[in-house]
Amino acid sequence: MSTSHQKTSAAIAALDYVQDGMVLGLGSGSTAEVFVRKLGEYVAEGLSIKGVPTSERTADVAREAGIPLIPVDQADCLHVTIDGADEVDGHFQLIKGGGGCLLREKIIAHASDLMVVIIDETKLVGALGEFPLPVEVDPFAFTLTAKKVYDALTRSGIERPDVQLRRKGDGLAPYITDGGNYILDCACRTIPNASATDQALKTIPGVVEHGLFLGLARVVIVGEDSGARVMEL
């Protein structure tokens, strides 16, 4: 079966973590959008929730689905965040940011009581790193920051990383995040010590955030051909 079927299976299973009256963090990306649309069906049937989107794109999808949204600064608490991932390893460590929303996704995930990650089975990996690690940076002096990022990745045990500025579809202009920043896509092939890489990147002025999500996910739901597999820490 297709990955779209697996994404739908994972999204439906994630609805078991939603209860009436909750404030939900709504993730970004294709799998998260499937969840948002399914959630909208439940709202239409009477489920009372409020959503906090992690991107402008998610906000648009949620409004189309009829989900009531609130500004993040009006959220006294976030009960559950449902989001996708580009890679998930066996320790529930994630790479996120392929869609360019990693900063807002991490802010919302960190503020939530529970983060539930929904993926198709192709995103479950033995070791992180085949998917390029996104690093969100301030546009000011980004070339200097890129050199520092390369050095930090190398110090953390990554061999010959390739750090490239993400560009728009035309291949010319830099890609701009919702927060007005640039993204460096770092091809690492494998990340031997995600914690060391996390700490090394955090020390660099100019790095706004990076796509390693460590210690945040507590539930991973893997969509499979036969349904969904729920894994909990």
Question: What positions carry a catalytic annotation?
Answer: 105
Which H or E element spans position 155? helix 142-155
Please say whether the beta carbons of 23 and 70 come within 8 A.
Answer: yes
**Could you tell me the CA-to-CA distances from 125 to 29, 88, 144, 228 in Å, in that order?**
19, 6, 32, 17
Strand order in the sheet with 87-88: 87-88, 94-95, 212-213
CA distance 124 to 91: 11
Q: Cβ neighbours of residue 104 under 8 Å, at least 6 residues apart?
A: 28, 54, 55, 178, 179
CA distance 223 to 14: 10
